[in-house]
Amino acid sequence: MIIKRDIEAQLLAWKQAPQRKPLLLQGARQIGKTWVMEHFGRTHYRHCVKFDFDRMPELRSVFKITKQPERLLKELSAYCEAPLLPEETLIIFDEIQECEEALNSLKYICEEAPQYHIMAAGSLLGVAVRHRSMTVPVGKVRMMRMYPMTFQEYLHAADESTFNHIDRLEEIGHLPAIILNKLLLEYKRYQICGGMPEAVVAMLSDAGMAAVEETLHDILDLYELDFSKYADPVEIPRIRAVWHSLPAQLSKENRKFIYRVVREGARAKDYEDALLWLKDAGMIYQVQHVSKPGLPLSGYAESNIFKAYACDCGLLRCMARVGSDVIMNGNAGFTEFKGALAENMVLQTLVTEQEMAFPYYWTSGNSAEVEFVVQYKDEVIPMEVKSEKNISGRSLSVYNDKYRPAHRVRFSTQNLQWNGNLLSVPLPLAGWLPQLLAMTDFFPK
């Protein structure tokens, strides 16, 4: 099963750029970086060649001999059958963190041989760079971040006709009941499998829920092994403790990260490096609190007050041992964590939006909390997330009375609607938020 990934449009723009630099693809493990590079190479080039520094450690010696691009490519040609041609061959350096000399070689390729198209990626590249004191040739590579599959990508593969219906919307109004019901069904299925491509394929190929669960557990086991492979020994138990605390952190009504949930008596200074490791690995997102929703939001951020979410809602559900039947059918005791999964899914979507800055959150004492505030087109937009149709709560109204924003957004399972300055968006449509905002009275079409 071939699933279209949205990042392919960015890769094509990179290929066609007149001042192209070698591309360095970043992102968490198992999100499909290698697959998308190879698929793009087969689709858009005459030839595609991959050099894997983990599976072929002998390649490292090539980069220790010389830094001259022409000689490097001649040496590398001995390890592949396809020719390494300017403009016509996509050259992939996979697991590049295993060879610092290969990472450094991108600088010289950029300067002396830009006619060669190079893509590189690596497992936990951000962690390796920081902890091994490796240097990235800043200014000589194009950095691009990849994420787990969004619900948009999932829906395109699961139900293309429903995807097309939403993608062709020209105005805001109630969706037909049949469309909304299909969206909410696929949204539940997405919460089960999440955005890890292998789990998505298991879901969409009808391999059964047991296969989906097995796939997600295998990925979680792989993440655990990465702690031992890439982290300092003293940090391993702390990283593991923070990672395993995520379901408990997000099960609270107030989802602010609390160190004593990790371990009784834990202090921030003991676990800051563990949090940073998980963030560098792309495994968690830290959403910081802002004292005031002013521009720029970063100027009002309080770095010591934050919430921590998982990179993928499917992995989070699996870590919390919430069964697929609970997602599909509901359960009286599932209220708080259901809200956490909805927030995680919305956040996963927001971080992929290139036009939007990374989200923060806002509170007003103990009386109100808005899950996300996002800077978009010189405006700060508050976003409330409700996991069901029940939209009771004062938080968004408190924010509205205090700051009078041009837009407010509420995600829930209710239908699509624009009323005053409130845009009510069904949770599955989070990925279409920029298009929906463009349809409102305040943004020109």
pLDDT in tens, the chain (445 residues): 789 999 999 999 999 999 999 999 999 999 999 999 999 999 999 999 999 999 999 999 999 999 899 999 999 999 999 999 999 999 999 999 999 999 999 999 999 999 999 999 988 888 877 766 678 888 999 999 999 999 999 999 999 999 999 999 999 999 999 999 999 999 999 999 999 999 999 999 989 999 999 999 999 999 999 998 889 999 999 999 999 999 999 999 889 999 999 999 999 999 999 999 999 999 999 999 999 999 999 999 999 999 999 999 999 999 999 999 999 987 767 878 999 999 999 999 999 998 899 999 999 988 899 999 999 999 999 999 999 888 878 999 999 999 999 999 999 999 999 998 999 999 999 999 999 999 997 554 4
The sign of the dihedral angle between the CA atoms of 133, 136, 139, 144 is: negative
Report field, pTM of the whole predicted structure over 0.85: yes
Domain that residue 275 falls in? 151-438
Residue found under tokens 């194009």: 142
Helix locations, 159-312, DSSP H = 160-167, 177-193, 197-204, 209-230, 236-251, 259-262, 268-280
> Which of 114, 145, 176 finishes a domain?
145
Q: In this structure, are 113 and 238 located in the same domain?
A: no
Is the same domain home to 164 and 282?
A: yes
Residues 163 and 309 in one domain: yes
Shared domain for 266 and 367, answered yes or no, is: yes
Among 124, 145, 166, where does a domain finish? 145
- Identify the CA nearest to 422 among candidates 411, 435, 413: 411
Residue 443 lies in a domain: no
In terms of DSSP bridges, do strands 117-121 and 368-376 run parallel, antiparallel, or are they unpaired? unpaired
- Picking from 105, 123, 145, the residue at the C-terminal end of a domain is 145
What integer pLDDT is reported at residue 445 of this predicted model? 42
Measured in whole angstroms, the distance separating CA 2 from the mean position of its chain's CA atoms is: 20
**Any domain includes 44:** yes
Query: What is the pLDDT at residue 444?
Result: 47
Instruction: Evaluate whether 12 touches 44 at the Cβ level (below 8 Å).
Output: yes
Are residues 249 and 327 located together in one domain of the fold? yes
Residues 24 and 169 in one domain: no
For residue 443, which phi and psi values (nearest 5 degrees)?
-115, 130
The token pair that represents 178 in the structure block: 């049949």
Q: What's the one-letter identity of residue 121? A: A
3-class SS of residue 276: helix
Is 381:408 a contact under the CB 8 Å cutoff? Answer: yes
Q: 195 and 114, same structural domain?
A: no
Angle at 350 between CA 347 and CA 352, to 5 degrees: 115
